[in-house]
Amino acid sequence: MQPIELETLLWRVIKVIEDAGERLIQEWEREGGPRGQGDKAEIDDEIEVFLRRELLSLFAADFWGEETGQSLTGDHYCWVVDPHDGTRDFLLGFPGSSISVALLRDRQPVLGVVYAPISPDRGKDCIAWTEGLPHLLRNRQAHPVDLSAGQLTEEGIVWLSAAAARKPYANIRLCAPARFIAMPSVAYRLARAAAGDGIGAVSLTELSGHDLAGAHALLTGAKGVLLNQSGKVLNYRNMDLVCVRCFGGAPEVCSELAKRPWGEALNEPSQQTRRLASRPRFPRIEVMQRAHACLAGLLIGDNFGAQVEFMDARKSPS
């Protein structure tokens, strides 16, 4: 087994994945919109070819990719790559897809990076961790998180798939007393839970190793867990199918969520979307960020104003 300094490797991997993210942004902003349809976009293949070359040049190991296949020799280490998780929603004009990379050692994630270059609320959002690092990294800054004692409370957030927004009533019941937020990429919503933006994340579809390994590493770094449909710790003995459902986040929360009847969400009829029927739109990232800033300014101003809005002028602190 070749020697490896994981923390040094992590910084180099982050740089490679950030470069790949720029390609995804360029595809989003492409005149005429991104190339592809359904669950397949041309940029997916292009990013994986780039990542395969760059990652193997950083550290020679086996490779398991979603788009370009596997190269397995029995090495103790294996790169696991999902070049673009959330392709379908990306092609429909919904932000929140991600790039996910993990390094497994003897089938256990010891390094992970999940990068959403076009997140719906945080702009570029890169979350990373490797074995030996005492905290997560978020956008290259130390980001300590400890999920070990997390509880399911009214203040908590559970991250669900984009489809959950069309089936709100069952999902509200299943996440109670917490709230839920819908997000396209399973890797990114698990990463958001690992980063402490929620108490847990759920997926109700069959998933392969490339879908989960990167976020699994992040959850490990945050003292969280990733459980399968039986409430057992997820493993990578069968990379083609690692789970039918998964629950990631605080250990006690995931154990509780795994017991709930999630079939109710699958069986609930979809509600009509509130989005106007039209061709998908792909606004420039800079324009989206300005719009978010304007809305945030209105929200902040309204909250400040609400404190004195109905107060008698004589009682106003001003």
Binding residues for Mg(2+): 66, 82, 85, 211
Asked if 184 and 89 count as a contact pair (C-beta separation under 8 A), the reply is: yes
Q: What span, in angstroms and rounded, lies between the C-alpha atoms of 133 and 87? A: 31
Question: What residue numbers does the annotated binding site cover?
Answer: 66, 82, 85, 211
Which helix (H) or strand (E) is 78 found in, with range?
A: strand 77-85
Asked if 48 and 81 count as a contact pair (C-beta separation under 8 A), the reply is: yes
Residue 33 CB neighbours (<10 A): 15
Q: For residue 159, give the nearest of 221, 98, 73 by alpha carbon.
A: 98
Integer-rounded Cα Rg, in Å, for the chain is 20
Q: What span, in angstroms and rounded, lies between the C-alpha atoms of 146 and 251? A: 11
Residue 136 CB neighbours (<10 A): 24
Residue 247 CB neighbours (<10 A): 28
Q: Token pair for residue 28? A: 């989003």
Where on the phi/psi map is residue 233: left (φ > 0), alpha (ψ -120 to 50), or beta? Answer: beta
Q: Which amino acid is at 32?
A: G
Buried b (16+ CB within 10 A) or exposed e, 49-61: eebbebbeeebeb
Q: What span, in angstroms and rounded, lies between the C-alpha atoms of 258 and 188? A: 20
Residue 75, SS3?
coil
